[in-house]
Amino acid sequence: MRLSVKSFLCSLCLGTLAVARLSEEFNEELHLRPLPDGKLAARFSFSTLLKGATPRHPETLGVEDESQLYTLFPLALGQILREYAVTELHLTLNAGNWNYDRWGYPDEPGVGTGAELWAWMGEGGTVTVDSRWRGLRNALAGLFCASLGSLDEQRTTSPVLTFQPEGSLPNGNASYQLRHATLPSEHVCTENLTPFLKLLPCKSLSGIASLLNPHKLFDADWHGLGVHVRYLESAGVEVRLAFQAVFDPVRAASDKRRDWSLSAVFDRRIERVCPVARSSVIRVRLPQNEVYAIIPSPSTMDKTYATYIVQEVGKPLDVAIIRPEETLFEYLIEPQTHISVHRTLNGASQHAGQLALTITNNHDIQLQTGYLETMPWLLQFYLHTLHAHIDGMPRDDLVKLISYIPPLPHVQPALLQAVLTLPPKTTLWLTMDVVKPFLAYTEHPPDAQRGWDLPPAVFVPFASQNGSETDSDPQLHAVLSDVRSTRMYTPVLLVDLATPDFSMPYNVIIMSCTLIALIFGMVFNLLTRQFVVVRVGEQSS
Amino acid sequence: MDAVSKPALAFESAFTRRSIIASYFLVIFLALPLWWKTTSIERQALPVSRVYAATGRELAFPIHVALDTRNCEVGTDTIVQEVRHHVENNGEFKQNGLSVEVSSATATANDYQVVLRPGTRDPIVDGRKVTVEVAPEHAGVAALQLADTLATLLTPYTSLRSSQAERVVTYSPRYRLAFTLLNEDAAAGNAALSWDVQNALAAQLSPLLERLSVLHNFTIESQVQYHGPLAFEPRALQVGEQIEHGLTPGDLTVFVNSAEWTLSSSVSNDPVLHFVAFIPSSKHSPLRIVDSNGLPTSSNAFILPQWGGIIIHNPQSTGIVPTLAGRPLDTIFATFRQQLSALLGVPELPPHVHARTRGVAGVTDWQLDALVRRRAAENAASAQDTLQSIVRLVAQIEDMPVGEDVKGDVQDALAALDQAYSTAPSSSTEALTFASKAQSVASRAFFNPGMLALLYFPTEHKWAVYAPLFASVTAPLLASLIREVLAWKKERKAKARGPQPVDSQRPKAE
Amino acid sequence: MDFIVTFPALVAGRLVLALSPLTHYLRDDHLLSSPLTSYSRLQEGIYLFKHGIDPYSGSTFRHSPLLLSLFSTVIPLNEVTAAFLWTASDALAAWSLVRIWRARQNVSSSSRDSLIAGLYLLNPYTFLPSLGQSTSSFENALCLLSLMLACQKQASASLLALAFLIQLSLPSILLLLPLLLLLISEPTSHLASPFFFKTDIRRITPLAGQFAAYILLLSGAATLVCGNLNWVEKTWGASLTLPDLTPNPGLWWYFFTEMFDHFRPFFLIVFSVHLLIYVLPLCIKFQHDILYACYLLLGILSIFKAYPTLSDPGLFLSMLSLFPETFPYLHHPIVTALLHLHAALLLPLFHYLWLNQGTGNANFFYASTLVFGMANGAALLDSIWAGLRIAIGEVKEEHEVLQE
């Protein structure tokens, strides 16, 4: 034990020395915050910065690439980024529906159910953006053991309004393209977490990452992992691996109280630091207007946050919040976001239906929201039936269609981008008729009766432009500055398509062909044979 | 039943009937090309005879050896004669496709030069020149000794042990070299947080890679890992006062913990060679390799055949090293260099032969030439095999589509192979280039995905799909055709018998 | 009753129905409108076109560009105009049918006029699709108009109508040859007295040339409307490649739903060529009465075309009223009628059970389409039989006419 403490101290001083010299930098952070419904949101963020690096230019794809010599940067990911000359990349794999009304905005905006991948890539060179996108999908599928390979052209769109680059794009004059695809039926599991952890310098063996215990993570009400690569002009290429989960301390606790601790939530404590982490921070959002105790004493603390610098506090570290006066927690729910969105697919018929959305503005000011649907051709819109209502009154003027790319079976999905105007404190009803196509029997999946998952719609609320009156009101101003382009994902939909009988191919061939041959043969006979008049009756035979 | 006569009807005339039948066949006839186009499987003819003609052909490399006997008392002509004689009797040259020609002419740049000198020292290699010293008392067997030395230098692979041969990786025009600094457990102390890989590569590896660039291109990548646990527990050894830890030969084969170590990704198809510097955790430090008797050996590195090399680095002092650099790193990379050349099949010099300078990255011209010749022969043989497999497979499976691209690839491979054969006498490097091209093109043809299209749809099913419609549709068509032909023949016979009144109707059975 | 009275009455009745809310329920019925004729898809195409999106870049819209330009510029398409338009198209069709009848009888009016118009306007197979605002009603009207004009020897107008029809529906090209022959022969009934084709067959060449010019003209106009050639693949191509497997009362959709991918192109060719194979034999056999050959070809189309709706057999059955002379010679009219009744009950029932109720499966509906195919086949075969048999005329008692 004494030895380990000594080596730890040694590692600490030497570690900081070493890290200072590197051209790579690794920071880890855990953000814990209580949610209004008693749950606990945890967000792990591990970012590695490759200082001074630039993304590969697509025109250099044909020539010998520079050697990739990395220390902290994950080599497996770096290879993929350079092989396909990807400038910015975002991959999220989530399970469950993020409940905006109860939980508010997530720390990581990408919370759409299933897999979502989007990338900005430069144009030029001999290899097209589309073929690099295909390669990128397959490479990431291999890296994360996810079926990202099926994010094919039938699911790929380019919704540039909603998915703006989060970093910078080098050489402002060169043109860049966005590719975006979602696969709502993909479920994140241990098999995806293991390769995710392998990309971390300290894996899940030391530092904050050691809290990533699959048993607890996958038991959470909501969980998702994300890989975000972006280029920052002033810094370099940054890879950020994020894991986000919503835990329910009330469910886990026998006494139905909200008290939590790291060991209760993750079933682990932080035993030792990651030697290469430049910073390693746990930030805990403190309960407001409540009596609570937080142990151990944090490194720094203000009204809203308690911060632990993992290297500085004693180990094993087990942060806990206790509310001694609370006996039973009761829910207090009011919408936590500026707008609330619900999307349903109505109609029992297997060949038509209606897509219905209700969008509620929870504020006293008029808001606008971008509305994005990337719909596979398994559901085809009748755009002429897109209508908006408020309290039963048609208000089509509130919908402004930005762009629409119709779907092409087996080729491309539909892309619908619109801007909706939401009057204060009202609910907008949006309806649109849809048709469901009929698939050949070879196109159905093995469990055809289950139906097909449809990707979430994305909403980006933003403040209305006519803001002359809002300038005067400081409260509204605060709201507006808060309404930043955060993407909100609706839950996914399940559509059931009519199925043929899968045992019928030969029967159908035989029966249809027989009918055709019968009519053909009889027509042929009628046209080529001759009439005879015969005597029938007693004389014959 | 009796038939009764009825009026002759215009639409029952033989002409009407025949034109109706003809119009059916006309449409079918016109549709035939479409039919053909939608049902035929594209099967391009492969150059089968050329593929089989290439069987057994080997690359021939003529070798010129210039014998320099000026410093020797032995008569030049006699010794040339004798060496020739011995070389001809030595089968190894022929096996490797070498036709060695020994002469006393002055050597040109590409010729091998043998300088015979009195003396007792071991042969010394310098460029394509070897200086052989012959003791005066052994002058009688000088020619034999010379021939043997030539054999070991020119065909070093025949004497290779199988274990050495097996670890050589299969040829690829490009390799990825992945260097990993692997700390068993950095958080528990005894670790290196980074390494000065750039300088070490430049100092130790670049000359070798440059030297081998006639054979391969290399992509270099490196990473540092901080947690690379072993999948097994090394055995503890008591060495004097200290506890050491040992890896048995059995442990070495399972040393790589591919479940926990993130060593490679499948981002490209180029084969990867891994080089791992393993720093054991303080718990397992120092870690030694032991022999089968459990005794520590002096070596701390080993090669995993076809995979790469591993070196176990026990730092002088325990604790965290911020950056591994300088001498320890140079030693590690020097070992990596030896492992790389062993993996790539660079032959070792015979033990009794010395190189004058190790300046050219430790690889003499003799070694490099032998390697190039061997790789060329290997690729040519492999391309031949692949081509034959394609031809056999296509002949075996009748429904296998053979597209234009497959045919083109096979032709390209044959052309490249031919070029390899024709350039071999003048330049073994060029022969290698062509042979390697032939091999890669041939295997691309072999793995062409278009050839698999119909592999799983048996012919019987086809009939089950076609029969219901076509059997029942063609039957009345053919029957009427036959009937018409018979009626027409009868008519002609009747006409031949004698002029009869023209009756457009067929005779009726009254 | 007088035709002057009954016809407007019938049309007015149809108009009242068309203005009723019934149309909403029938609009998306797979029996009444196919993806090529659906009103909703037409609306969608017009909407996209008006919003500057190429409607042919998607797969929803498969109507002719001519309809697109008509409704996006000349006539706005809404509930009221649609009711009037479809009623007008039905009225035009019925009126053309009456005019064909008159031309065939070579009279200026007859007592059967009202009956014939009623048989078209009240035929459920034609008026239901029309209430469902399927553009197949336009196809029927154009087809009858073209035949009527051909009977009246107005060659150019007739060929132009046919060219319009082919713009809407490619399989109708089958009618080209009989229509050309009709233009150079008589529409009057000669079924009972067959003869060899009298007119010089080469007279159709200039007519064919004229037709080609119309087709080129209309295609050019369509291309101008769209700005590219996408419409060819999306409208005409659909009849040949069956990209949309939406169920319909025909034989193609389930066959190609279940077909193995490898055989799909081959059977698509076979099914298309199969349609063509009937043209020449029927024209040769009925060279003495080409109008009858046209009628039979419409029967063939109603069974075998790629995207049939109920209005295709409806047209065929309504035209039966033009040939009352064949009625005594029909073999099995009762069987045919019962088969049709059976199919007409089964088709909507099984469609509902499969797609709405979820209690049936695709085979139910497929089986009823087979029954429907048999019913149409029976009607077609009986019509061919009767059209030939009439030439022999009455036979003595205890005698029977057979085909050897």
Domain boundaries, chain A: 40-322, 339-495
Residue keyed to tokens 């014939």: C116
Q: Considering only residues 121 to 160 of chain C, which have any Cβ-Cβ distance to chain A shorter than 8 Å? A: none
Best probe of the A interface among C24, C60, C292, by most A CBs < 10 A, is C60
Q: Give pLDDT tens digits for B44-72.
A: 888 888 888 878 788 888 888 888 877 77
C-chain residues near B464 (CB < 8 A): none
pLDDT score recorded for residue A525: 92
Residue B477 CB: number of other CB atoms within 10 A? Answer: 17
Report the Cα B64 to chain-centroid distance in Å: 29
**Contact criterion met (CB < 8 Å) for C286 and B39:** no
Q: Please answer whether residues A321 and A263 qualify as being in contact, where contact means their C-beta atoms are separated by less than 8 angstroms.
A: no
Query: What is the percent of chain C where pLDDT is above 70?
Result: 100
Distance between CA atoms of A258 and A237, rounded to whole angstroms? 40
Distance between CA atoms of A424 and B378, rounded to whole angstroms? 78
Q: Where are the domains of chain C?
A: 3-233
Q: Quick one: tokens of B347? A: 């032959």
**Chain A: closest CA distance from residue B466 (Å):** 9
B-chain residues near A67 (CB < 8 A): 201, 219-222
**Contact criterion met (CB < 8 Å) for B221 and A207:** no
Q: Please answer whether residues A199 and B262 qualify as being in contact, where contact means their C-beta atoms are separated by less than 8 angstroms.
A: yes
Distance between CA atoms of C294 and C315, rounded to whole angstroms? 12
A-chain residues near B224 (CB < 8 A): 70-72, 201
Answer with the residue of higher pLDDT: A288 or B383: B383
A-chain residues near B10 (CB < 8 A): none
Q: Give pLDDT tens digits for C350-390.
A: 999 999 888 888 999 999 999 999 999 999 999 999 999 99
**Is residue A484 predicted with pLDDT exceeding 60?**
no
Name the β-bridge partners of A224. Answer: A94, A244
Instruction: Please name the residues in contact with C108: beta carbons below 8 A apart, sequence gap of 6 or more.
Output: C102
The beta-strand segments (E) located in A40-192 are 40-51, 68-69, 86-95, 114-122, 156-157, 176-183
Of C138, C125, C144, C140, the closest CA to residue C32 belongs to C125
Report the Cα A176 to chain-centroid distance in Å: 22
Chain B: residue nearest A528 by CA?
B17
Distance between CA atoms of A521 and C90, rounded to whole angstroms? 35
For residue B12, CA distances in Å to A528, B508, C205, C286 come to: 8, 13, 27, 11
Chain C: residue nearest A415 by CA?
C58
Inform me whether the C-beta atom of residue A404 falls under 8 Å from chain C C-beta atoms.
Answer: yes
| Amino acid code (one letter) for A128 | T
**Chain B: closest CA distance from residue C269 (Å):** 7
Q: CB-CB: which of A80, A514, A533 is closest to B267? A: A80
Q: Map residue B62 onto helix, strand or coil.
A: strand
End-to-end C-alpha distance for chain A, whole angstroms = 118
**Is residue C48 predicted with pLDDT exceeding 90?**
yes
Q: Give pLDDT tens digits for B61-111.
A: 888 888 887 777 666 777 788 888 888 887 777 777 788 888 877 777 778
Q: Does the N-terminal peptide bond of residue A296 adopt cis geometry, omega within 30 degrees of 0?
A: yes
B2-4 vs A320-322, strand pairing mode: unpaired
pLDDT score recorded for residue B269: 80
B320-324 vs B191-195, strand pairing mode: parallel
Report helix, strand and coil shares of chain A as percent, to nearest 5: 25, 35, 40
pLDDT score recorded for residue A87: 92
Mean pLDDT value of segment A12-22: 40
Q: Quick one: tokens of C163? A: 């060219």
Chain C: residue nearest B17 by CA?
C285
**Is residue B502 predicted with pLDDT exceeding 50?**
no
**Chain C: closest CA distance from residue A506 (Å):** 8
Q: Give pLDDT tens digits for A101-112.
A: 888 889 988 899
**Chain B: closest CA distance from residue A181 (Å):** 21
Mean pLDDT value of segment B446-475: 80
Q: Give pLDDT tens digits for C182-219.
A: 999 888 888 888 888 888 888 889 999 999 999 999 99
Q: Where are the alpha helices (DSSP H) in A41-189?
A: 75-83, 100-103, 129-144
Instruction: Please name the residues in contact with A189: beta carbons below 8 A apart, sequence gap of 6 or more.
Output: A95, A218
Residue B450 CB: number of other CB atoms within 10 A? Answer: 13
Distance between CA atoms of A225 and A146, rounded to whole angstroms? 12
Q: Considering only residues 440 to 469 of chain A, which have any Cβ-Cβ distance to chain C shorter than 8 Å? A: 440-442
**Chain B: closest CA distance from residue C396 (Å):** 10
A430-439, B19-28, B136-145: least confident range: B136-145
Report helix, strand and coil shares of chain C as percent, to nearest 5: 70, 0, 25
Q: How many CB pairs (< 8 A) connect B and C? A: 61
> H or E segment at B290?
none
| Amino acid code (one letter) for A380 | Q
Angle at C391 between CA C387 and CA C393, to 5 degrees: 115
Instruction: Please name the residues in contact with A149: beta carbons below 8 A apart, sequence gap of 6 or more.
Output: A137, A138, A141
State ipTM.
Answer: 0.94
Inform me whether the C-beta atom of residue A510 falls under 8 Å from chain C C-beta atoms.
Answer: no
pLDDT score recorded for residue C128: 93
Q: CB-CB: which of B11, B31, B454 is closest to C194? A: B11
For residue A372, CA distances in Å to A90, A103, A431 come to: 18, 22, 14
**Contact criterion met (CB < 8 Å) for B469 and A517:** yes
Chain B: residue nearest A194 by CA?
B260
C-chain residues near B465 (CB < 8 A): 260, 263
**Contact criterion met (CB < 8 Å) for B189 and A11:** yes
Mean pLDDT value of segment A23-43: 91
Name the β-bridge partners of A241. Answer: A46, A227
Render B189-233 in DSSP notation, one character per residue. Answer: S-EEEEE-HHHHIIIIIHHHHHHGGGT-EEEEEEEEESB---SSP
Residue A102 CB: number of other CB atoms within 10 A? Answer: 18
| Dihedral (CA of A245, A249, A251, A252) sign | positive
**Is residue A465 predicted with pLDDT exceeding 60?**
no
Q: Please answer whether residues C136 and C33 qualify as being in contact, where contact means their C-beta atoms are separated by less than 8 angstroms.
A: yes
pLDDT score recorded for residue A4: 39
Burial state string for A372-391 with b = 16 or more CB within 10 A and e = fewer than 16: bbbbbbbbbbbbbbbebbee
Q: Where are the alpha helices (DSSP H) in B201-326?
A: 206-211, 249-253
Mean pLDDT value of segment C338-350: 95
**Contact criterion met (CB < 8 Å) for C399 and B31:** no
Exposed (0-12), middle (13-18) or buried (19+): which is A45, by Cβ within 10 Å?
buried
Q: Please answer whether residues C369 and C303 qualify as being in contact, where contact means their C-beta atoms are separated by less than 8 angstroms.
A: no
pLDDT score recorded for residue A202: 87
Residue B213 CB: number of other CB atoms within 10 A? Answer: 10
Going by the DSSP 8-state scheme, the letter that residue B104 receives in this structure is -
Distance between CA atoms of A526 and B5, rounded to whole angstroms? 19
pLDDT score recorded for residue A9: 39
Q: Quick one: tokens of C57? A: 């870049």
Q: Where residue B499 falls among pLDDT bands split at 50, 70, 90?
A: low
Q: Give pLDDT tens digits for A132-168.
A: 999 999 999 988 888 887 778 888 999 988 888 888 8
| Amino acid code (one letter) for C376 | N
Q: Where residue B505 falls among pLDDT bands split at 50, 70, 90?
A: very low
Q: Where residue A15 falls among pLDDT bands split at 50, 70, 90?
A: very low
- Domain A339-495 maps to which CATH number in 2.60.40.1170, 3.30.1490.20, 1.10.150.20, 3.40.30.10? 2.60.40.1170
Distance between CA atoms of A23 and A217, rounded to whole angstroms? 33
Distance between CA atoms of B88 and B111, rounded to whole angstroms? 19
Q: Please answer whether residues A84 and A129 qualify as being in contact, where contact means their C-beta atoms are separated by less than 8 angstroms.
A: no
**Is residue C1 predicted with pLDDT exceeding 80?**
no
| Dihedral (CA of B411, B414, B416, B419) sign | negative
Number of H helices, E strands in chain A: 10, 28
Q: CB-CB: which of A406, A520, A531 is closest to C58? A: A406
Inform me whether the C-beta atom of residue A521 falls under 8 Å from chain C C-beta atoms.
Answer: no
Q: Please answer whether residues A85 and A132 qualify as being in contact, where contact means their C-beta atoms are separated by less than 8 angstroms.
A: yes
Name the β-bridge partners of B133. Answer: B117
A48-52, A188-192, B57-61, B457-461: least confident range: B457-461
Render A198-214 in DSSP notation, one character per residue. Answer: HTSTTTTTSSGGGG--H
